[in-house]
Amino acid sequence: MATMNEETAEMVKSGFLAAVPFARTLGVEFLEVDYHRISMRLPDTEANHNHVGGPHAGAMFTLGESASGAVVTGAFGHLLDRAVPLAVKAEIHYRKLAMGDVVAEAHLDRPREEIEAELESGGRPEFAVEVELRTADGTATGAMTVTWTLKPSRR
């Protein structure tokens, strides 16, 4: 499996944050960037809190969906002239109250080469991105699955 070089990783980070202003509003930050895995952090700020002092469910959803979108951008950014990535559906499970910073780690559920081959053969691939939500100390607080598609562009 190929590893993303630093220049490409920086393009994914800057391109994503430019395209998704709401992630910037929440202060979402990248921790790790690779073709098959992205790790992002939601900072523990009062503006992101809910009524019990932890991160708001909507902020956690945005963090998870953002990490899933960033992994799709990293894996398929070279195809943006031929296909548009779109989220099809998402499911989130809140398992434990998160306190402090929250980290989302997202990864593709199947090899990117397989997904790309499906697109190249004329299909409209759908694939899941699995996201683990945890506190900075590693305590699992939730999980999310976002199903994405690559919609071929009209030529």
CATH of the domain at 110: 3.10.129.10
Q: What is the count of structural domains for the chain?
A: 1
How far is C-alpha 91 from the geometric centre of its chain's CA atoms? 13
The whole-number average pLDDT for the span 55-74 is 95
Q: Is residue 28 part of a domain?
A: yes
Q: Is residue 59 part of a domain?
A: yes
Q: Is residue 118 part of a domain?
A: yes
What share of the chain in percent tops pLDDT 70? 98
Q: Is the dihedral of CA 12, 14, 15, 20 positive or negative?
A: positive
Q: Is residue 35 part of a domain?
A: yes
Q: Is residue 1 part of a domain?
A: no
The whole-number average pLDDT for the span 50-59 is 93
Closest by CA to 118, choosing from 83, 146, 88, is 83
pLDDT in tens, 133-154: 999 999 999 999 999 999 998 7
Q: Is residue 147 part of a domain?
A: yes
Q: Is residue 109 part of a domain?
A: yes
The whole-number average pLDDT for the span 96-124 is 95
Average pLDDT, the chain: 93
Q: Is residue 15 part of a domain?
A: yes
Q: Is the pLDDT of residue 155 over 80?
A: no
CA–CA separation, 148 and 12 (whole Å): 18
Instruction: Find the domain containing 69 and state its range.
Output: 6-152
User: Bigger pLDDT: 11 or 89?
Assistant: 89
